Amino acid sequence: MDLIKKLQDVLDKSVESGEECGCQLSVYRYGEPVCDLFSGYTTSDKTKEVDDKTLFPVFSVGKGICTTVMMILKDQGKLDFDDLVTEYWEGYGVNGKENTTIQDVLSHRAGVWETPDILLADRYNWEKVCKAMENAVPKDTIGGMHHYHGYTYGVLTGRIAELADGRPFPQIVQEEIVEPLGLDGMYFGISKEQFNQNVAFIDGSADMMNDERLSHNKFCVLGGLNPSSNGCCNARSLAKMYASLIGSGMDGIRLVSEKTIEEATVLCRIPEDNDYDQWDKFGHGYALCGPKGNFGRMFGQGGACGSEGFADKETGYAIGFTKNKLNGTHPNHPTRNEISRVLGLPIRIW
């Protein structure tokens, strides 16, 4: 059985078993397409099938896009990781956050990991959530122990990017990532038409009806802006972005220099913070998901529903995987694990 058939069988069997509702898988290797596959349905009532252009809410997978924006701006000389955040965002320098560096933000050591105490809709109202982050008070030593900034990382990086560059964050993504690579599915803030016609809504079981992840079926979430968690993508766009970050890039386009990627994929932790068994091992922004002893070999980001995007420097693989079924085994996803087995890649639990 050839590789593509094996991978399609993995997706189809996962849908047939109920492990997945709908999913997409896109694989590139050394910048060349291997497969672009899909299976299943956009909703649990199975009235509409997933295709290659279906958009999936990808939750924290969007953080990898935020990080790529920051890497691009670094290469363009618009910011440096040792810079203070206040060099770009003056209003951030209050309540003990004055000496926060961009590296502190990228490595999840900015001390402001708690979600601002604002309404759900306001979490995706860009100006309101940015103002809430200005007023945030650090919960730990800045630059000390890492704490995963689940709902705040994209606000911090997104606002810094805007102020360093001068363009709105979605415009930077569009002009620096989407257009150069010819992507057809990468958005922060989708239109009402896209929401109604092209989104794979999150599917949860009856005992998950109070699960906060189901809020990503609301237009106020997906149509707003908080790049930490409200991106909508197809698998192909994720895979192509990561393919552009390793080797000779994608279609001759290398979005971020090799030097910057190498710097970004070195683990950023203080000596006292040596718990390496958890999934959240961050360099400069990217989560490092390589095997023990070589964490930086693979880098990217997984999401709260099980989608992921990453690149593997050693094999040349770049992977995008999107899905819409909430699984009780999260962050361990059998479908992803079987895809990894077929491709001969280490399993990622993130």
pLDDT per position as a tens digit, 81-131: 999 999 999 999 999 999 999 999 999 999 999 988 898 889 999 999 999
Q: How confident is the model at residue 324 (pLDDT cuts 50, 70, 90)?
A: very high
Strand partners, 32: 29
Q: How confident is the model at residue 208 (pLDDT cuts 50, 70, 90)?
A: confident
H or E stretch covering 312: strand 308-312
Query: What is the C-alpha to C-alpha distance for residues 143 and 140, in angstroms, rounded to an integer?
Result: 9
What the block records as the tokens of 20 is: 């997945």
Query: What is the C-alpha to C-alpha distance for residues 111 and 79, in angstroms, rounded to an integer?
Result: 21
Note the pLDDT of residue 205.
81
Q: How confident is the model at residue 206 (pLDDT cuts 50, 70, 90)?
A: low
Burial of 167 (0-12, 13-18, 19+ CB in 10 A): middle
Give every CB contact of residue 177 below 8 A, 6+ residues apart in sequence: 65, 68, 69, 72, 183, 186, 241, 255
What the block records as the tokens of 118 is: 């604002």
Q: Single out the residue of 205, 254, 228, 276 nearest to residue 132, CA to CA.
A: 228
Domain ranges of the chain: 3-58+186-262+276-343, 67-165
**3-58+186-262+276-343: CATH topology:** Beta-lactamase (3.40.710)
Q: How many angstroms from the chain centroid is the CA of residue 200?
A: 17
Report pTM: 0.97
Q: Are 293 and 276 in contact (CB under 8 A)?
A: no
Q: What is the average per-residue pLDDT within 11-25?
A: 98
